[in-house]
């Protein structure tokens, strides 16, 4: 194994703990106390405010800021698409992320194995870089891309293929790690191995058909890679 490319939300960062507060705050900022509008916006993005949880088909889980804006726009006729997308990105950049595992130690251990590390997220690149910097891990990545970095969004393989080009790695010796079918489909389309983790919304039954392995979180990835190298 020569490289690992990670999804961000639900993989590096626990999805529910990270994005539940963001969803509530964004809805509040757009509704100015209008509870009926707030309820409609929550439904539009598949967010249950009472349980502070996301429906499995929520666009927040794997969609882009553009797609989230599209879901909200029918309820917000007074706001333009570009303005709404900019507001989503601005709030996303300042969202408080909860590490799924101690990230600095976990990623440093992978780099110590000689692995190139990359990030491929359907978040925008700006907020993604802000989240990595806030947790002091941006320097551990050889490649960082969002859906707006020019390689397309997942489940397309563009970001994964760009990582291969940037690092000179062979896809058969790289693993894509993610918490959604979009992540795993992108990795497989690029010819990579795939590992699913359960720190997002999807469960093992949904992810297993698309993955070479399913782990509770990325903390066990180093051991799995050691086993692959031993084969």
Q: Which of 93, 123, 154 is the last residue of a domain?
A: 93
Environment class of residue 184 by beta-carbon count within 10 Å: exposed (0-12), middle (13-18) or buried (19+)? buried
Q: Which of 148, 91, 100, 98 is nearest to 120 (CA)?
A: 148
| Domain residue limits at 175 | 3-14+97-230
Does 76 share its domain with 128?
Answer: no
Q: pLDDT tens digit string along 35-79? A: 999 999 999 999 998 888 898 889 888 778 888 999 999 999 888
Q: Which of 93, 121, 145 is the last residue of a domain?
A: 93
pTM across the whole model? 0.86
| Same domain membership, residue 168 and residue 84 | no
Q: Are 119 and 138 in contact (CB under 8 A)?
A: no
**Per-residue pLDDT reduced to its tens digit, 116-162:** 999 999 999 999 999 999 999 999 999 999 999 999 999 999 999 99
The band of 34, judged by pLDDT with boundaries at 50, 70 and 90, is: very high
């Amino acid at each position: 194994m020569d490289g690992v490319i990670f999804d961000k939300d639900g993989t590096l960062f626990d999805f529910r703990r990270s994005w539940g507060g963001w969803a509530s705050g964004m809805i509040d900022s757009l509704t100015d106390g209008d509870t009926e509008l707030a309820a409609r916006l929550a439904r539009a993005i598949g967010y249950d405010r009472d349980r502070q949880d996301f429906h499995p088909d929520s666009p927040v889980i794997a969609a882009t800021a553009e797609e989230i804006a599209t879901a909200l726009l029918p309820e917000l006729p007074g706001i333009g698409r570009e303005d709404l997308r900019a507001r989503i990105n601005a709030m996303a950049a300042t969202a408080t992320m909860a590490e799924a595992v101690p990230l600095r130690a976990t990623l440093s251990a992978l780099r110590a194995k000689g692995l190139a590390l990359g990030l491929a997220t359907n978040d925008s690149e700006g907020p993604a870089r802000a989240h990595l910097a806030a947790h002091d891990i941006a320097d551990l990545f050889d490649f960082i891309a969002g859906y707006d970095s020019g390689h397309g969004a997942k489940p397309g393989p563009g970001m994964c293929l760009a990582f291969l080009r940037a690092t000179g790695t062979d896809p058969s010796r790289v693993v894509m790690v993610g918490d959604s079918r979009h992540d795993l489909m992108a990795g497989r389309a690029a010819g990579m191995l795939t590992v699913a983790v359960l720190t997002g919304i999807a469960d093992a039954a949904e992810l297993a058909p698309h993955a070479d392995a399913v782990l509770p979180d990325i903390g066990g990835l180093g051991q799995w890679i050691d086993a692959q190298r031993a084969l």
